Amino acid sequence: MKHWHETQQVVHALSAWLAEDVACALATVVRVQGSAYRHEGAKLAVNARGEHVGNVSGGCLEADVREVALRVATSGVAERRRYCGGSDEVAAWDLGLGCEGVVDLLVEPVREPRTADALSLALGRGYVAATRLEGDAEGPLGLATPSRVVLRPHGAEARRIVQGTLGDAALDAVAAREAAAWYASGRSGIVVHGDATLFVEVLVPAPQFVVVGAGDDAVPVAALAAATGFRTTVVDRRPALLARERFEGAVRLVEGDADALATLLADARRPLGTLGAGDFAVVMTHDFAHDAAYLRALLASPVGYVGALGPRARTERMLAAFAREGVVVDESRLYAPVGLDIGTDGAEQVAIAIVAEALAVRSGRRPRSLRERATPIHAAE
């Protein structure tokens, strides 16, 4: 989820810098062995002015990686870097890896905008990018931008290459053939084919998070959901509340009542039409009749997490009304009252409780303190 959001920020920054004719470079995590703070695909973009976007560690590697990136931006020669955490997990944390592990990075100059990436990200379409890695895991590669190809994961194999080349027609054909399988795996990483080593980056659209209601307490919910990496939309029937100055950042604003929401959910060509079992919605207009209407529309859609703000008894009244109308509700998708039980006081804390619950549901984890977890925090249990 962060991968998608961060890639959007990095691609946008690179395009802006190139438009200003400012030299820039991109550092990408291409392999993690053991456990590390960030995973394959994490990015840090740097320009010749020293400005940077993104990160590749918990923060402590960034100073060194920025220096390498500045050198690459100036020289125009790509480099590989390896950072080792060693056997001491505490020392590895101090280094910035977050825990014991080895992190390999590709640092490359960027000379042209990544237009295929930008278009896919803007349209919310997942894609695969394959980059041919040269040389050893440490040192200059002796070349400028490595060969890279952007592929669409679906459709006819012959049309999967959207942009670029790996420098070899046979290797391009392999990438086109494997794109769908790479995308289905959902994992970025190193792929070896013959004597060619590829870094395959899989970008799957982040889940959508729909905030129904644009009142004052919806503002921090939308901001936190967007900052966390959700593709966030605020829906309300009241246009005055849908002011851009109230909802800054990467938040889409949609005006509409419950009937309009139902239409949006039912039409894949319209905003929100792609909501599915992996997406999230929270109803919080503070108007009983409108909340009930919006809730009915959401429960009739495939969206997997439907939250309702307010006391349990209030939601139960809505459900009782639905039952009298003959509406069958899958209550396993309903989170009411919405949010984790963390003892909230104020809109900002309520927002934390709501978004934290959504993250836990998405990860399939029972919310608890990390001190209760026996295995490493980045490892599967």
Q: What is the pLDDT along the chain (381 residues), one digit of tens a residue?
A: 889 989 999 999 999 999 999 999 999 999 998 767 788 999 999 999 999 999 998 777 889 999 999 999 999 999 999 988 654 444 444 444 444 678 999 999 999 999 999 999 988 899 999 999 987 666 666 566 799 999 999 989 889 999 999 999 999 999 999 999 999 999 999 999 998 999 999 999 999 999 999 999 999 999 999 999 999 999 999 999 999 999 988 789 999 999 988 887 876 666 666 688 999 999 999 999 999 999 999 999 999 999 999 999 999 999 999 999 998 888 899 999 999 998 888 999 999 999 999 999 998 988 876 667 677 655 655
Burial of 181 (0-12, 13-18, 19+ CB in 10 A): exposed
pLDDT value of residue 58: 77
CA 239/CA 254 separation, integer angstroms: 9
> How many Cβ atoms from other residues are within 10 Å of residue 86's Cβ?
12
pLDDT value of residue 92: 45
Closest CA to 41 of 17, 71, 11: 11
CA 175/CA 194 separation, integer angstroms: 13
Contact (Cβ atoms closer than 8 angstroms) between residue 163 and residue 131: no
pLDDT value of residue 303: 93
CA 20/CA 305 separation, integer angstroms: 43
Would you state the structure tokens that stand for residue 157, as one six-digit string?
């194999």
262: helix, strand or coil: helix
CA 11/CA 14 separation, integer angstroms: 5
Closest CA to 375 of 35, 31, 32, 2: 35
Contact (Cβ atoms closer than 8 angstroms) between residue 72 and residue 107: yes
Among left, alpha and beta (phi > 0; psi -120 to 50; other), residue 13 is alpha
* Cα atoms found within 13 Å of the Cα of residue 369, Cβ hemisphere only: 3
pLDDT value of residue 368: 73
pLDDT value of residue 238: 95
Closest CA to 137 of 188, 181, 78: 78
Sheet (strand 43-47) strand order: 52-54, 43-47, 24-34, 101-110, 79-84, 139-140
Strands 305-308 vs 231-236: parallel, antiparallel or unpaired: unpaired
pTM as predicted: 0.81
DSSP for residue 165: E
Would you state the structure tokens that stand for residue 264, as one six-digit string?
């949006």
Q: Which residues pair with 178 in a beta bridge?
A: none
